[in-house]
Amino acid sequence: MVISKGQIHAFEEDAKYIGYLVVFSEAFMQKYMAQSTIARINHLYNYFLKQEKITNSDYNQKLFSTLQKELKSNSVSLPNIIASLLTVYLLKLNDENSTSAGNTGDSKNLEYFNQFKLLVEENYFNTRDAKFFSSQMAISYKHLNEVCKKIVKTTAKAFIDSYVILEAKRMLVSTSLSVKEIAFALGFDEPTNFLKYFKKHTSLTPVEFRNALA
C-alpha cells in the first residue's frame, strides 16, 4: 500500500498487524533519486488512482530485510544505498502498474491527468474553474473531461470538488484551525460559502464532520 504526502490514514488499534512501514520524505527523494525516476514513479503516489501491489511476499521480505540490514550499518553511503533499494522497488511497482494501465492511449490520458492533478494541487485555493485548468494544459475543456472520465470515472469539475473536500477534511481532522481559518485557507471569500459548499458535498457541516471524528 502506497500512502501519499498529506494523505489521511489510520490503523485499527485492536488489529494484529504484521508488516513493515517504510517512510521517506519528498526531500529525500529529490536529493538521492534521479529526476527521471521521480517522474516515472510520480503517479504511484496519486491516491485518486487504483494502484497495483507487489504481492510476491518473498520479494517484499527480501527488500525489507535488506533495508533493515543496511540501516544497521555504518556506511558513509547509507542514504544513497537506501535510495537505490527504494528506487528498484518503486520502479518494479511502476512496471506492475504500467502493465495494468493498458494501451498507449491510456498512458497519454494518465499523463494528462497527472498534469491536471498537479495543477489542481497548486491552484485549488485560487480557482475551482475546470476551464482554467484545461487552458493551462493547452487542451480543450471537453478533452480534459474525457481524460478525467477515462482515468477516475468523473468530470474535471467533480474531481476538483472532491480534491477541495478532501483537503478540507484533512484540515478539519489533522489541524486545530477554526472553520473560518480553513475556509480562507481553501480560498473561500466568506466562511458561509465554505459551509454551504462542504455541506453540499458531504451532507454535514464542517463542525459536524470534525465532531464525528473527535
Question: Per-residue confidence of the chain (214 residues) as pLDDT tens digits?
Answer: 666 666 666 667 766 777 778 888 877 887 888 877 776 676 665 555 555 565 667 778 888 899 999 989 989 999 999 999 988 888 887 777 655 544 445 778 888 988 998 899 899 999 999 999 999 999 999 999 999 998 888 999 999 999 999 899 989 988 999 999 999 999 999 999 999 999 999 999 999 999 988 7
Q: Are 167 and 186 in contact (CB under 8 A)?
A: yes
Each domain of the chain, given as residue ranges in start order, spans 26-101, 105-212
What local confidence, expressed as pLDDT, does residue 48 receive? 55
Spatial distance between the Cα atoms of 19 and 21, rounded to a whole number of angstroms: 7
Residue 5's nearest CA partner among 21, 24, 19 is 24
Residue 185's nearest CA partner among 149, 175, 71 is 175
Q: Are 86 and 36 in contact (CB under 8 A)?
A: no
- The model's pTM is 0.63
Radius of gyration of the chain (CA): 20
Residue 157's nearest CA partner among 188, 192, 127 is 127
Question: DSSP letter at 43?
Answer: G
What local confidence, expressed as pLDDT, does residue 25 receive? 80
Which CATH superfamily groups domain 105-212? Homeodomain-like (1.10.10.60)
